[in-house]
Amino acid sequence: MSVVSWIRALRDRPIAAHERRAALTVIAVLCIAVTLLLALSTPTQLSSSRSWSRGAAADQHRDQAASDKRALTQESERAAEVFLGTYLPYLYGHCGASEVRGATVAFADSLASQALRVPPAMRAEHARVVSLHAAPAQAGLLSVTALVNDGGLVDYPIALLLARQGHRLLVAGLAGA
């Protein structure tokens, strides 16, 4: 009898009662060992100001969002909203590049010079801005990241670089593009 046929014979045979008990014991011991290891590797001392819970995690997330919101000035928020209000329809093929507002002349010219190919399925979508957040940027620029949703399951970010031209903030480009 070859090794392969011996393994197949063992695989296809019924399991005896004592083998089931042994397998259950091994699985139970492994589960207990993993639970103990996880319990010992988790930090047991929590912050003295408040205990860790879902509520504390939500408070921390809200505090961070509030600080991001504070860093986002009304002027930069308005500049991003004006730009995205016309850029998103352009991105989804609902209008031309000449209708994009709130961009610097150089950035508007670069949008107009690029041929944008929008698939028919994407033309049927209508994107909306879910939220705006301030982000770090290089000197002389402001960065605003917009979370956008077009009806899909996932929101996607668009990072805008804003520059001051005269007394206005205009979008000078997209971060990472």
Q: Which of 152, 158, 101, 99 is nearest to 129 (CA)?
A: 158
* Residue 134: domain span: 73-174
Number of domains in the chain: 1
77 residue type, one letter = E
For 135, residues 6+ apart whose C-beta sits below 8 A from its C-beta are 143, 144, 145, 159, 175
131 forms beta bridges with: 147
pLDDT of 80-93, one tens digit each?
999 999 999 999 99
pTM: 0.58
pLDDT of 94-116, one tens digit each?
998 899 999 999 999 999 998 88
Please check whether residue 9 lies inside any domain of the structure: no
CATH code for the domain of 158: 3.10.450
Please check whether residue 83 lies inside any domain of the structure: yes
Let me know how many helices (H) and strands (E) the chain has, helices first: 6, 4
d(CA 160, CA 129): 13
